[in-house]
Amino acid sequence: MSERAAIASPLSTGVKFATAGLGGIGGWILIHPFNTVAIRMNLASASGAGTPAAGSFFSFTRNVVANEGFLTLYNGLSAGILRQVFYATSRFGLYEVFRDISAKYREPDLASRLGVGILSGACAAYISCPAEVTLVRMSNDKALPAAERRNYSSVLNAAYRIATEEGITTFWRGSTPFVMRAMLVGATQVGTYDQFKVMYRGYGVPDGISNVFCASMSAGLLYSLITMPFETAKNRMSFQKKDPKTGELMYRATGQTIRTIASKEGVLALWSGFLPYYGRCGGHTVSMFIFVEELRRIYKSLWS
């Protein structure tokens, strides 16, 4: 059976979006601590704490837990879940909608999957920018000196204060690197995951958990390496404050941010915190797609 024929009888659009969102939420709950540590390590150099080496992930995590308690790793979880409601739902849901439309005109291949992934990623990023900025703020707030903390009490409090104190456009500050990263994620995570499933099937790995695991781990590693510099730029732009003397922001555009970090801190600073970032990306890719596949299997068994 051709891939176009396999896609010819898809799940309903509502089921696609619902399972994508629920799968994203389930995966995020599992890997949120990796995201917290990744953001904290990534922003450590910006706060003058130096750039932690990738190998210091475990000691960095131990220090955070020892100083602030284990639950600090779940700071910003509500914002992370809210982000998945918008981001995972729209990214994977739109990917499948666009892919199915494309399949009516041409046999799915790597090029079409990458193109559809780029388009769905860009759409999803703009939709979820407010939740992304809120997540970054809440995840790293405790790392600031006590006098500089914003002390958000909840995701709603954070969103309200950002909008009223800094303006609604603040939610889209750093949106360019986020959108660019999301386009890469759409292609290198979702698009390549779809392609890796076909590839591993050809290598004899049957459909099911084993195929999903192999494909999602491969896609997660690829997209982690490619998107980390944009993640770094997005974090710096989202979390920065204006210079008290000049009133200017240090980071103003994606390319300028990446160049500034590379020139002042070294190129490897763009991959600062890579190990927890890969734990987040690879872990979330695997867990999300397993959740999605299982939810769809259950749905089909109940309503087929």
> Is the pLDDT confidence value at 5 over 60?
no
- 50 pLDDT more than 70: no
- For the segment 40-61, the average pLDDT, to the nearest whole number, is 65
Assess whether pLDDT exceeds 50 at residue 279: yes
- What contacts 292, CB < 8 A, 6 or more positions away? 19, 20, 22, 23, 92
Residue 125's Cβ-side half-sphere holds a number of Cα atoms within 13 Å equal to: 24
Residue 55 pLDDT greater than 60, yes or no: no
In whole numbers, what is the pLDDT of the chain averaged over residues? 84
Question: Please, what is the Cα angle at 112 between 111 and 118, to 5 degrees?
Answer: 90
Q: What is the pLDDT of residue 57?
A: 77
The pLDDT confidence band at residue 127, using thresholds 50, 70 and 90, is confident
pLDDT in tens, 56-85: 778 888 888 888 889 889 988 887 888 888
User: Could you give the CA distance from residue 17 to residue 45 in angstroms, rounded to a whole number?
Assistant: 38
- Global pTM reads 0.70
CB-count exposure of residue 161 (10 Å: 0-12, 13-18, 19+) = middle
Return d(Cα 51, Cα 74) in angstroms, integer.
23
Mean pLDDT to the nearest integer, 89-104: 89
CA angle (181, 50, 254) in 5-degree steps: 25
What would the mean pLDDT of 270-276 be, rounded to a whole number?
Answer: 85
Question: Where residue 1 falls among pLDDT bands split at 50, 70, 90?
Answer: very low
Nearest Cα neighbor of 198 from 220, 182, 219, 184 is: 219
Residue 284 predicted with pLDDT over 80: yes
Local confidence band at 54 (pLDDT 50, 70, 90 cut-offs): very low
The pLDDT tens digits for 193-244 are 988 999 999 999 998 889 999 999 899 888 888 888 988 888 888 778 787 8
**Region at 63 (left for phi over 0; alpha for psi -120 to 50; beta for the rest):** alpha
* pLDDT score of 282 more than 90: no
